[in-house]
């Protein structure tokens, strides 16, 4: 079968993309002289103040290197002895972190079967019956992911209902925001939307992702004052997530938050996913739902799947169903989308 030329970019993961030029420029500007290490520099203080402005309240900001580390630091800051973490069976902390929460936190993950990848208040209520029973682990933290591992979105009302239910049982709420920027871009596209989806809804800790949205090894943990452990800074160091030359991480977040670049790049990724769906949705034999953010999970005939993966690689998702994941990035262009769609059409033809 003759395929058209493959696109310049892959549709496998937003981790495949490079770093946005503005973030590289910000790193270069920060690379001047000697400054205090471990967050004692002015850039780190500026970035932290921008996060407090974004959240519309004082938050503790801990800059980290990667998403798994952010989740470990955030969860450790919320957990108490004998606590468990309630999460979905699809959650990144349950599936894709090589057992890091169990190993480094010594915590039991109580994963709930959620076909759509979204927790419900009833899931929390069902596990809350263990509270007070000395023979049972105590549900202490609820962790949800926005956008979800299946590319879905929690509404503001859904997050508020989860937080209200969790707090009624004395639990704390963590939000894994590896792709929070994509969710914000999809649900409103401004700082007000971010607040409403996070601390405004009652969330206690946010893992704020930057790397998947065009940054270079830049993540942040945002903690509500008075809820998280006052030893969170020590926890970050113990978890090997304290950058010594923190100015390079902080400089990127200053660039991102100063004029909405973080929403602009996420919005571009989302738009390219919608463009791809529009281009291929009419192909007979292709089972694909419209994207909420920058990912889609089509089901392909096995022969078609193999040909396409050999032509332009992407990941399998659920091999038992021949389901795959297609994902766009901040730098995906219309030409990339059109080229990939042409290849899909050729494979089905």
Question: Of 140, 146, 80, whose CA–CA distance to 110 is shortest?
Answer: 140
- Judged by DSSP in three states, 178 sits in coil
Q: Locate the domains of the chain by residue range.
A: 21-258, 262-348
Q: What is the pLDDT of residues 236-295, one digit of tens each?
A: 999 999 999 999 999 999 999 999 999 999 999 999 999 999 999 999 999 999 999 999
CB 274 within 8 A of CB 333: no
C-alpha distance across the termini of the chain, in Å: 9
Question: Tell me: the pLDDT tens digits for 200-240?
Answer: 999 999 999 999 999 999 999 999 999 988 999 999 999 99
Spatial CA neighbour of 280 closest among 349, 346, 348, 345:
345
21-258: CATH class: alpha beta
**Does domain 262-348 fall into CATH 3.90.1150.10?**
yes
Tokens of 192: 């007000």
Exposed e or buried b per residue across 109-137, where buried means at least 16 C-beta atoms within 10 angstroms of its C-beta: bbbbebeebbbbbebbeebbeeeeeeeee
Specify the pTM. 0.97
pLDDT score of 4: 94
List the chain residues with pLDDT less than 70.
1
Q: What pLDDT, on a 0 to 100 scale, did the predictor assign at position 229? A: 87
């Amino acid at each position: 079968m003759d395929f058209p030329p493959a696109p310049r970019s892959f549709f496998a993961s937003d981790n495949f993309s490079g770093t946005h030029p503005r973030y590289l420029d910000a790193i270069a500007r920060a690379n001047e002289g000697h400054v205090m290490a471990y967050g004692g520099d002015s850039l780190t203080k500026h970035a932290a103040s921008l996060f407090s402005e974004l959240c519309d309240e004082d938050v503790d900001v801990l800059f980290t290197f990667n998403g798994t580390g952010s989740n470990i630091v955030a969860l450790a800051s919320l957990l108490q002895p004998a606590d468990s973490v309630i999460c979905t069976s699809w959650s990144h902390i349950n599936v894709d972190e090589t057992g890091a929460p169990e190993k480094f936190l010594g915590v039991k993950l109580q994963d709930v079967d959620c076909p759509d990848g979204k927790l419900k208040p009833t899931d929390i209520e069902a596990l809350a019956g263990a509270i007070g029973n000395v023979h049972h682990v105590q549900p202490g933290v609820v962790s949800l992911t926005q956008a979800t591992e299946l590319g879905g979105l929690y509404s503001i009302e859904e997050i508020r209902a989860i937080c209200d239910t969790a707090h009624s049982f004395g639990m704390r709420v963590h939000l894994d925001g590896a792709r929070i920027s994509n969710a914000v871009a999809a649900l409103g596209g401004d700082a007000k939307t971010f607040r409403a989806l996070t601390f405004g809804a009652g969330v206690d800790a946010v893992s704020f992702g930057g790397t998947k949205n065009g940054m270079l090894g830049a993540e942040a943990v945002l903690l509500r004052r008075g809820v998280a452990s006052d030893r969170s800074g020590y926890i970050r160091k113990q978890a090997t997530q304290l950058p010594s030359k923190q100015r390079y991480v902080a400089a990127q977040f200053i660039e991102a938050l100063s004029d909405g670049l973080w929403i602009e790049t996420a919005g571009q990724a989302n738009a390219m996913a919608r463009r791809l769906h529009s281009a291929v949705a009419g192909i007979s034999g292709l089972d694909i739902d419209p994207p909420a953010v920058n990912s889609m999970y089509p089901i392909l005939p096995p022969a078609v799947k193999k040909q396409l993966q050999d032509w332009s690689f992407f990941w399998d998702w659920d091999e038992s169903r021949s389901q795959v994941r297609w994902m766009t990035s901040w730098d995906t262009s219309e030409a990339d989308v059109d080229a990939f769609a042409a290849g899909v059409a050729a494979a089905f033809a």
